Amino acid sequence: MTLFSITDTSDYLNELLSGETSGTVHSVYRKTINLSIGGTLAALQAKGSPISPISLITTLTSEKMESLEISAGDFVTLKENIITIYRSNRTLQASTDMNTLDNKKEIGFSFEEATIHNLHLLHSLKCANSLSDTMLHQLHNNIRTCLSNISTGGFEVIFNQRVNDDTSMMLVAAKKKIERCTRLYRNKKYTETGIELARLIGLGIGLTPSGDDFLCGVLAGLILTGQTESTFAKSLHKTIAEHLNDTVDVSAAFLHCALKGQFSLAVNHLLVNTGCESPQDTSYIKCNPQITPGIANIPAITENFLAIGHSSGTDTLCGILYALELFLFQKCNL
């Protein structure tokens, strides 16, 4: 068996995989092999890929990953911290008959020594003191400035007010939906806002449609602003959970993670521990919730989110910005 190493994963995925023994290859892309295991997706990714809650970062380059000739439907086993993929002759059916599987060329991925990342976004900047208000405004301003210098063709077109006659119908529809949600929210129709905003599910194309990435960002923003128990948040959570089948599987997996408070490393790195040697170290903040975190600077935010797909990162950032703007408007009008 050819064996490769997995260098990084999340505690969320590590726990999910711990009780599983088999699965199949869901889909294969140039830099990613998606595995379907125990009702969830796990993504074997090329070296240097951004870390998400479902990531299994490998030591392979994207070119090497592509050369493995793994295909959707190939059988997968999990045993002793090794994920084994049995490359079939394209006629092998998923089977637990190890005598049959042993005749196929095996490729293994060991996660025994992988770094486990805690990607549970726990920290809220909403407190009773003026410092937290200042930090919320700083986060808002940093994200706004970051987006103003980016052009990816996603939802940033809406938030940078660049919608014109040449803008895609998808973005025009999204703009109208977001504007309607803003009006509903400002009129304190919070349940209706959540239902309406969730209708962005599946809007767009690709592995993760822009509407889904945006909604993941909104869910992160609700945590950062301490609004997870609000009527709006509960309505949005409920409606998204009811409509996960309305989008593609990979995107549904990320939305499912977001509903559980699990987000990419980029989202978690919006908050930094200014007392650490590494400005990106959030572990001390999570273990010490009484510590007030710092806000990532504009270059760091830009670099971290641009690394996520074509426009997925910036679409997520737009969702976070939108949640911040709703909260700050409400706070100013109390």
296 versus 97: the higher-pLDDT residue is 296
Structure tokens at 282: 């959030």
Q: In the predicted model, what is the mean pLDDT of residues 71-97?
A: 78
308 and 213 share a domain?
A: yes
| Distance (Å, whole) CA 83 – CA 4 | 10
pLDDT at 108 over 70: yes
b (16+ CB within 10 A) / e for 234-245: bbbbebbeeebe
Query: Comparing 10-24, 31-45, 81-95, 211-225, which segment has the lowest mean pLDDT?
Result: 81-95
In this structure, is residue 186 part of a structural domain? yes
**pLDDT of 207:** 84
87 and 8 share a domain?
A: yes
In this structure, is residue 299 part of a structural domain? yes
**pLDDT of 44:** 98
| Distance (Å, whole) CA 122 – CA 141 | 21
52 and 86 share a domain?
A: yes
pLDDT at 287 over 70: no
Give the tens place of pLDDT for each residue, 224-282.
999 999 999 999 999 999 999 999 999 999 999 999 999 999 999 999 864 443 444 45
Give the tens place of pLDDT for each residue, 137-182.
999 999 999 999 999 999 999 999 999 999 999 999 999 999 999 9
Domain that holds residue 59: 2-117
Give the tens place of pLDDT for each residue, 201-225.
999 987 899 999 999 999 999 999 9
In this structure, is residue 124 part of a structural domain? no
Scanning the structure block, which residue is given the tokens 């997706």? 41
Q: How confident is the model at residue 49 (pLDDT cuts 50, 70, 90)?
A: very high
Residue after which a domain boundary falls, among 87, 117, 147: 117
Query: Comparing 78-87, 177-186, 292-301, which segment has the lowest mean pLDDT?
Result: 292-301
108 and 137 share a domain?
A: no
**pLDDT of 286:** 54
